[in-house]
């Protein structure tokens, strides 16, 4: 994402999160930037650039947050599943 304005980056991140339903962590890894940058772009900067898009992203992020404990439990289950065989 070199030579891209902050506004363009925020919009690209937002579209990616909405389309893929990916998390902030996954989005950061995909775009090669920090989680803090992704969060600031889609939570703060996007509100000023495109409030409608910001609300759509917020819905996906809220859904991800609500499901976070389930994903964590599944990751732990997978991590230790080899011990029970």
Domain parsing of the chain, residue ranges: 6-84
pLDDT given for residue 74 in this prediction: 82
What pLDDT sits at residue 41? 97
Residue 6 CA to its chain's centroid (Å): 17
How does pLDDT run across 21-75, given as a tens digit for each residue? 999 999 999 999 999 999 999 999 999 999 999 999 999 999 998 887 888 788 8
Would you say the pTM of this structure is higher than 0.85? Answer: no
How far apart CA 64 and CA 21 sit, in angstroms, is 8
């Amino acid at each position: 994402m070199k030579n891209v304005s902050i506004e363009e980056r925020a919009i690209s991140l937002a579209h990616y999160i909405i389309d893929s339903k990916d998390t902030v962590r996954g989005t950061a890894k995909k775009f090669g930037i920090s989680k803090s940058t992704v969060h600031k772009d889609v939570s703060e900067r996007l509100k000023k650039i495109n409030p409608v898009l910001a609300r759509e992203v917020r819905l996906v992020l809220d859904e991800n947050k609500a499901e976070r404990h389930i994903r964590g439990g599944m990751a732990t289950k997978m991590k230790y599943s080899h011990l029970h065989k």
